[in-house]
Amino acid sequence: MNEQPSSPLAPFASTFTPNLPELLQKLQCSIAITTYQAGKVLIISAKDSENLSMLPRTFHKAMGMAIQEDRMAIATKSEVVVLKNSPELASSYPKKPNTYDAMFMPRATYYTGMVDIHDLHWGTDGLWAVNTSFSTLCGIDDHHSFTPKWKPHFISNLAAEDRCHLNGLAMKDGKPMYVSALGNGNTRQSWRENITKGGILMNVPENKIILQGLPMPHTPRIWDDKLYVLLSAGQQLICVNPENGSYETVAHIPGFVRGMAKQGDFVFIATSKLRKNSSTFKHLKIADKANEAGVTVLHLPTRSIVAKLSFQMTVDEIYDVQILPDMMRPNIINTYGEMHHEALIIPQATFWSKQP
């Protein structure tokens, strides 16, 4: 890990294994993470083969993030913000010209209300969101706060009661395929009654439970036709056989694991520092061990940890991790400042309205 000076640490200060910048260069990508606790989207890029760049942007209670080619969507406290990449605006960015190779600019905001959206995905028919408050999968559009499209068979009716803590969604061929939840109850926050052993995985098209008794499952993902899931309270990445409801442990990742993405043969897995005073986390066996937030890189073919980043300041809890492929120094502009008002995009050209 890189040594840090003894002076007070700067915001977002981190240590990382020396090979991480070189690995990002080799993979030709950057990492994007969301931290609802700090209210940020943070983009991590390689400055060169030895140093990293940390670019934070404020997004209130940032949670799920969806990437589709040149589009990005971010779930926040009461909105879903859609952004689009403009390399042309990036190269002419007035504050730092000729620095960035990508720039995600806000294009639309959907006002969902405070429904506690977790995972977010682009599908063949638009944006899909895990609406945790209402225990449902929903569509995000400009017609309603949200459009309910699917709920577990054990949920009797829609209500803002977070009955099962539906959280994760795996897509296949642009359609929802599997979801994770922390319980299968039908009363307000009933998942809290068995938080360490009540987790389930469900097949969405068949609306049936395929695996249960899991320690806080999150982040189901389908890669190479295999279903991978993080067991947050078990410090595990597992590979699930949906046909017979079995699974094997792929790797043990120290800490509270939640949020992951894959690039090439490498899986980037986020870990969070657990709040000791949290009613949700304080009784977990791993509460004393989960004292670090960061990103662990796993080489999937060999199942070995090959790189790591650890935050020393600001970031304690991470929700999502996404990879920005073919982007070595991306930027992102939020809607809280004035900069997005100055960026203009039309079909054949881009402009900075106040550029000298």
Q: Residue 306 is part of a domain; what is its CATH number?
A: 2.120.10.30
Q: What is the pLDDT of residues 35-44, one digit of tens each?
A: 999 999 999 9
In a domain, 8, yes or no: no
Q: What is the pLDDT of residues 191-225, one digit of tens each?
A: 999 999 999 999 999 999 999 999 999 999 999 99
**Structure token pair of residue 143:** 């017609």
In a domain, 318, yes or no: yes
Q: What is the pLDDT of residues 150-198, one digit of tens each?
A: 999 999 999 999 999 999 999 999 999 999 999 999 999 999 999 999 9
Angstrom CA distances, 125 to 79, 207, 211, stand at: 19, 20, 28
Region of residue 216 (phi > 0: left; psi between -120 and 50: alpha; otherwise: beta): left
Which residues face 29 on adjacent strands?
A: 325
**Structure token pair of residue 252:** 């043990």
In a domain, 260, yes or no: yes
CA distance 319 to 116: 12
The pLDDT value given to residue 279: 66
In a domain, 356, yes or no: no
What residue type is assigned to position 303 of the chain?
A: R
Residue indicated by tokens 């140093």: 51
Query: With 70 as the cut, is the pLDDT of residue 356 above it?
Result: no
Helix ranges (DSSP H) in the chain: 20-27, 87-91, 339-342
Domain that holds residue 80: 14-351
In a domain, 307, yes or no: yes
In a domain, 222, yes or no: yes
Q: What is the pLDDT of residues 102-124, one digit of tens each?
A: 999 999 999 999 999 999 999 99
The pLDDT value given to residue 5: 45
Q: What is the pLDDT of residues 301-322, one digit of tens each?
A: 999 999 999 999 999 999 999 9
Give the pLDDT band of residue 1 (cuts 50, 70, 90).
very low
Q: What is the pLDDT of residues 213-269, one digit of tens each?
A: 999 999 999 999 999 999 999 999 999 999 999 999 999 999 999 999 999 999 999
Overall residue count recorded for the chain in this entry: 356
In a domain, 7, yes or no: no
Any idea what the Cα angle at residue 263 is, between residues 170 and 72, rounded to 5°?
60
**Sign of the four-CA dihedral 85, 58, 230, 292:** positive
Region of residue 355 (phi > 0: left; psi between -120 and 50: alpha; otherwise: beta): beta
In a domain, 9, yes or no: no
The pLDDT value given to residue 331: 97
Listed residue (336, 338, 327) closest to 90, CA to CA: 327
Query: With 70 as the cut, is the pLDDT of residue 328 above it?
Result: yes
Any idea what the Cα angle at residue 8 is, between residues 5 and 11, rounded to 5°?
100
Q: Euclidean distance between the first and final Cα of the chain, in Å?
A: 43
The pLDDT value given to residue 8: 78
CA distance 218 to 115: 18
Instruction: Please tell me the total count of domains within the chain.
Output: 1
- Percent of all residues in the chain with a pLDDT value above 70, rounded to a whole number: 94
Burial of 120-156, coded b for 16+ CB within 10 Å and e otherwise, reads: bbbbeeebbbbbbbbbbbbbbeeeeebeebbbbebbe
Q: pTM surpassing 0.85?
A: yes
Query: With 90 as the cut, is the pLDDT of residue 72 above it?
Result: yes
